[in-house]
Amino acid sequence: MTKIHKIHDRLSLNQKPTSSLREQAIDVTPALERSVRYLVSLQQADGSWEGEVVWCPMLPAQYVLMCHITQTPISPERRQAILQQFNTTRLSCDLWGLHDKSQPYLFVTTLVYVAARLLGVQKEDPLLSPALQFIRDQGGVLAIPTWGKFWLAMLNLYDWCGVNPVLPEAWLLPQWIPAHPGNFYCHTRLIYMPMGLIYGRKFQVSVTPLIETLRSELYIEDYQEVNFNAARSMLRPEEVYHPSTPVLQAIYKLSNLYERWHNKDWRQEAIAQMIDCIRFELQTTDYTSLSPVSGLLNIIALWLHDPNDADLHKALERFEGWIWQDEKSGLRITGARSSTWDTGFAIQALQATSPHVDVSDSLLQAQQFLATQQIRTTFPNIEDFHRIDPKGGFCFAGVWHGWPVSDCTAEALLALLDAPPEVTANCSLLDSVKFILRCQNADGGFGSYESRKIRSTLEWMNPAEMFANSMTEHSYIECTASCIMALREFQIRYPEMMGDEIDRAMQRGGLWLRKQQKLDDSWLGFWGVNFIYGTMFAVQGLVAATNTANDPAIRKACHWLVSKQRPDGGWGEHFQGCLSGEYVEHTESQVTQTAWAMIALLKAEANHWPEITRGANFLIDMQLENGGWAKQDWSGVFFHTALLDYTLYRAYFPVWALALYESLRQKKLNI
């Protein structure tokens, strides 16, 4: 956008009022129109939106390792695309980390190094020589985090006695015991389920000349002389976010004792049960699994069970759905698929723009798509597989995924409540409400995929040193706020349906939200960076819960947001706050975070019009000629340490913020 064009946008006020508000306000309609055109241009033929959810090269590296283990060939074209991804994801130090702003990780760097070597890259190649030097500078791979030890053990590059036990017999424990894996967070239990099966078999690939060579490269001393028993507790400190507790260390010791004299019949019974669980997981997710992380392990586990298994080959075929590829960045494996999530937000952004820009055709097409993405049935025997009833829910990805989420369902419900009757006839809004209510926890907050099954968070036995708060469901600010908003809007339109139950759920959810407000008046997010994200949702959730914007907690939160505005009018929060638990200001304002702050202030009708206007000016300043906004720092996160790039966040959140701004401007000026 040219400078003249931007100045024209800000001076295009033709309204009569002459108050200070008129002097402060700007007409954002031209910028809004451009941004809507850009957003609509990204809509797919079926009416949906889906942006890539970018993570790190851990996943394509593990894909290569899986193919080597299961003897699945990789074509020359795919080999080249994977190596291109490894090349483009190197950090400035030529190593690899957990995200694009990460420190180098021995875990990720080692997996990429081994994968590239298996693809035929020589150790002297410029792609790998810095990685080999880094590995050897660390004393080899002995201190790699436990997930790295596990993958290397399958490749016969680490001895199983150096890997902390993942006992399959844990699945035979009575389900009332809190440590039963069925009580774990769904991602955690579905990762450790195939890991348990693989560990129980102690599988390792055959030693080949290449494996022998890799052993000599990954270790300083001779492989046969390595004390793997001692290495079991060795961890590179820079990669440990959640150190193992004394209780977990005691569990490891007891598990190692059991492993020496384990009961073979129990083991076979446990493995047979786990195979049934893996089959159920595949069959209810269109053979994709909950995530590519668990999906790769499921493929290996089924291959160990039977290389000719029909479910195995379907899983290999459907794993292609996790893959994104282009010439520039090569082959990536996405952290998640997101068509329902992205479409729900894009619809709401367009609904906000509809008073100012004609988006009726795009909106209708999107709502028609979204209405088809609801899970309409209950899966058989769900209790046997530690699942709640998914009926009525919407997934993060699409209906094929089979794992509905509370806030995905809530955002889809918000996007569909005002859809034409012929659209909503294809889904059940009431079933969505029932699914949302099934996700409410005893403390009043809402979980993500399900409600928490036990009181303890089990963090005292968290074995994933690189991540935290990953053992059980929690009550999340974002999920709770989205669910309250959806319940409120549903109740407004259908007051005769489940009125008392919805009232109780909103009241409990609102009280929980209020208790989570920090002393500085912000809220801590979990799925985004970080306090701005959490505060945006919490403000909207409290507005819905209290049915007013004049609540003191909301006003304090708005003051907190305004206090974080940067001199250029934008907001910018650094991801380091996810690690420290404190707000860390970014060196640059971020478009997505500015939109989040503005949405919170506008939904609260905050008395901070000059600051909101400065935010709108910042968004217009940053807008590109095509109506979109340039890529900046990643704004998604999970388990505190893993950053994600939700590539469409910068396409619809700014549209939403500008649309809300224009609506409130016109309301204040009585246009």
Concatenated DSSP letters for 179-221?
TSGGGS-HHHHHHHHHHHHHHHHT--PPP-HHHHHHHHHH-SS
Above 50 in pLDDT, residue 642?
yes
Above 50 in pLDDT, residue 11?
no
Q: Are residues 486 and 559 in the same domain?
A: yes
Chain position carrying tokens 């079991």:
232
How many Å apart are CA 211 and CA 214, to the nearest integer? 5
Q: Are residues 123 and 42 in the same domain?
A: no
Looking at residues 282-305, what average pLDDT do you find? 98
pLDDT at 616: 97
CB 300 within 8 A of CB 154: yes
Instruction: Decide which of 333, 367, 389 is a domain's last residue.
Output: 333
Higher pLDDT, 367 or 499: 367
Tokens of 124: 């002297």
Q: Are residues 288 and 429 in the same domain?
A: no
Higher pLDDT, 300 or 175: 300
Q: Are residues 230 and 346 in the same domain?
A: no
pLDDT at 16: 37
| Inside any domain, residue 654 | yes
The DSSP letter of residue 627 is: S
**Strand-strand pairing, 330-333 and 571-573:** unpaired
Q: Are residues 388 and 297 in the same domain?
A: no
Q: Are residues 421 and 298 in the same domain?
A: no
pLDDT at 606: 87
Largest CA distance in the chain: 86
Q: Are residues 133 and 48 in the same domain?
A: no
Higher pLDDT, 50 or 668: 50
Kindly report the average pLDDT of the chain as a whole number.
Answer: 94
**Strand-strand pairing, 636-638 and 642-646:** antiparallel
pLDDT over 90 for what percent of the chain? 93
How many Å apart are CA 31 and CA 448, to the nearest integer? 35
| Interior angle at CA 605, CA 356 and CA 627, nearest 5 | 35
| Inside any domain, residue 465 | no
b/e map 525-536, b = 16+ CB within 10 Å = bbbbbbbbbbbb
560-594: pLDDT as tens digits? 999 999 999 999 999 999 999 999 999 999 999 99
Q: Tell me whether residue 286 is one of the annotated catalytic residues.
A: no
pLDDT at 17: 39
589-615: pLDDT as tens digits? 999 999 999 999 999 998 999 999 999
How buried is 262 (Cβ within 10 angstroms: 0-12 exposed, 13-18 middle, 19+ buried)?
middle
pLDDT at 547: 83
| Inside any domain, residue 655 | yes
Instruction: Decide which of 299, 333, 367 is a domain's last residue.
Output: 333
Looking at residues 545-556, what average pLDDT do you find? 91
Looking at residues 151-169, what average pLDDT do you find? 97
| Inside any domain, residue 468 | no
Q: Are residues 326 and 339 in the same domain?
A: no
Tokens of 73: 């060939």
CA distances from 92 to 42, 75, 97, 137, 457 (A): 31, 30, 11, 18, 37
Give the model's confidence band at 550: pLDDT under 50 very low, under 70 low, under 90 confident, else very high.
confident
pLDDT at 26: 86
441-480: pLDDT as tens digits? 999 999 999 999 999 999 999 999 999 999 999 999 999 9
pTM for the predicted model, two decimal places: 0.95
Q: Are residues 208 and 181 in the same domain?
A: yes
Tell me how many domains the chain contains. Answer: 2
| Inside any domain, residue 464 | no
Q: Are residues 454 and 430 in the same domain?
A: yes
Q: What residues make up the domain containing 454?
A: 3-53+335-459+474-668
CB 459 within 8 A of CB 188: no
Instruction: Decide which of 312, 333, 354 is a domain's last residue.
Output: 333
Looking at residues 209-235, what average pLDDT do you find? 97
pLDDT at 15: 36
The one catalytic residue in 9, 159, 342, 407 is 407
Chain position carrying tokens 């016969």:
156
Helix (H) or strand (E) segment spanning residue 33: helix 29-41
Q: Are residues 662 and 514 in the same domain?
A: yes
Phi and psi at 584, nearest 5°, equal -125, 120
> Which CATH number do you get for residue 366?
1.50.10.20
CB 346 within 8 A of CB 414: no
| Inside any domain, residue 576 | yes
Looking at residues 254-264, what average pLDDT do you find? 93
| Inside any domain, residue 124 | yes
Above 50 in pLDDT, residue 314?
yes
Q: Are residues 47 and 80 in the same domain?
A: no
13-66: pLDDT as tens digits? 333 333 455 447 788 999 999 999 999 999 999 999 999 999 999 999 999 999
319-368: pLDDT as tens digits? 999 999 999 999 999 999 999 999 999 999 999 999 999 999 999 999 99
**Strand-strand pairing, 323-326 and 330-333:** antiparallel
| Inside any domain, residue 466 | no
pLDDT at 669: 81
Nearest residue to 108 (alpha-carbon basis) of 156, 145, 154: 145
